[in-house]
Amino acid sequence: MAYIKGNRNQMTMLPNSIEDYISLDDPVRAYDAFVEALDLEQLGLVLDGHQAGANAYWPQALLKLLLYGYAYGLRSSRKLERACHHNLSFIWLTEGLKPDYRTIARFRVENRAVLKQILQQCARMCVKLELVEGNTLFTDGTKIKANASYDQSWSQEDCRRWEEKVAQNIEHILAECEKTDEQEEPCSSLVKLKEELASQEALRQKIEAIKKELDDSGKSSYNTTDPECFVSKADRGANVYHNAQMSVDEKHGLIITAQVVSESSDVNQLDAQVKQAQEVLGKPPQTVCADAGYHSISDIEKIDSTIRVVVPSETQIVKERRPANVKPFFKEAFSYDEAKDEYRCPADKCLTRTRQPAFDKKDRVVYKAAAGECRACSHFGVCTTSRAGRKIVRLKNEALLQTLAQNYLSDEGQRIYKLRKQKVELPFAHFKHNFNLRQFLLRGVDKVNAEFNLCAIAYNITRMIGIVGIDGLKTAFAIT
């Protein structure tokens, strides 16, 4: 059997034109067509070839480089620089330009606001191409590791412990200095002690600054490397993260909005995501769906009342997944009589209002059963163990709470909620597995948002290639 062997001395020649480096149906042409279709000046990207100073790289080429690189998991500016030298598709895309990694990194940071606008313009293109309907939106969030060390996160307890340690160190160093002064003339040992003292003083000042930041921000922790990240527990344990939020359309799962926030919880994020999506789409969606992490009445009541919100409560999820853990006398088992303004328990006992004002400072009303009736009831000890009687708390917006429960339990609500995972969780999986976005490269919410928006744009283009095809997409971009 003969072997096929290579020969490095074999004379070969690339095509005479860079245009011929890749085929006409190569995916890179779709990314090129997308950037060419953008109105970059309208987005705020300065295109002025007559500016004073050293020559700069053509901004469109750098934007194409970033988008195409992120689509294939090349997020590092050094890796992108290397690709411009060795990868034919990158050489074709940049038209033979070979920017260094500093130029690439600087362009990404300086134009971070433009990238958000590009994502919005991409979503609007999808609407024009009828790839996005904007009728049903799915919202979700995930925690992505920040470019910071968990060890650089400080709490009030850490500050207190280190203050005590630094105070002891300073006291010990001062004692050593005094002892050295008495025994000998200034020498190298005394100089070294004074340097240590200065170092401890600097550490004490740093701790004071961290304590002030903690007091001013009200946060439980403060990271000195990236102050806008937070400490949280995720799949890989406790670490420092950013909270990445996303809303996608039902039709093809294309991303409408993508934003990184510094809050660790999803509780108050739904209204903001809906408003951003409405601004992009130019109309309010008919339905918005999210998981139980977004179930916040105070946040959901801000959403336009014409929008149907499908968000289950934690109680509903527990009843579905762990029915054995559901208490037999939970709040939903009590019926409310609006005409009499009272509750009826499963044993047909009456719970009346206990507070005269319409609502207390927490926007709630408390209803309580008669103590004697509760103690005489056969369910006493199961329904309640309080000898004062069972209490029920009714919120000011209890009607909205019931509407949300009905939306989720309806047939249409169940159909929509079952689609949630495959629509909005798929992009996050694609980001982490294919784009290698398990940790951000930049620091600070603004810069991290630039990275996240690049991934969202790259994902949309990748999905559009699969839906329309490369030739169809190039034609569509040329028309738009």
**What is the pLDDT tens value at each position of the chain, 480 positions in all?**
677 666 767 776 777 788 888 888 889 999 999 988 888 777 777 666 666 666 678 888 899 999 999 999 899 999 999 999 999 999 999 988 899 999 999 999 988 888 888 898 888 888 888 899 889 999 999 999 988 888 877 777 766 776 677 666 666 666 666 666 555 555 546 566 667 767 777 777 777 777 777 677 767 777 778 888 888 876 667 788 899 999 999 999 999 999 999 888 888 899 999 999 999 998 999 999 999 999 888 889 899 889 999 999 887 787 777 766 667 787 778 888 888 888 888 888 888 888 655 555 567 788 888 888 888 888 888 888 888 888 888 877 778 888 888 889 899 999 999 999 889 999 999 999 999 899 999 988 999 999 999 999 999 999 999 998 888 888 888 776
Q: What is the pLDDT of residue 16?
A: 79
Q: What is the pLDDT of residue 307?
A: 92
**What residue has token string 């990238």?**
115
Q: Which among 113, 63, 130, 111 is positioned nearest to 480, based on CA atoms?
A: 130
Question: What does pTM read for this prediction?
Answer: 0.82
Q: What is the pLDDT of residue 197?
A: 66
Q: What is the pLDDT of residue 234?
A: 67
Q: What is the pLDDT of residue 460?
A: 94
Q: What is the pLDDT of residue 93?
A: 92
Helices (H) and strands (E) in the chain, counts: 18, 13
Q: Which residues of 285-294 are buried (b: 16+ CB within 10 A; e: fewer)?
A: bebbbbbeeb
Residues 6+ apart with CB under 8 A from 388: 368, 371
Instruction: Read off φ and ψ for residue 62, nearest 5 degrees.
Output: -70, -35
CA of residue 456 relative to chain centroid, distance: 12
Residue 374 in contact with residue 380, Cβ under 8 Å? yes
Residues 6+ apart with CB under 8 A from 192: none
* Burial zone of 275 (CB within 10 Å; 0-12 exposed, 13-18 middle, 19+ buried): middle
Q: What is the pLDDT of residue 270?
A: 93
Q: What is the pLDDT of residue 156?
A: 72
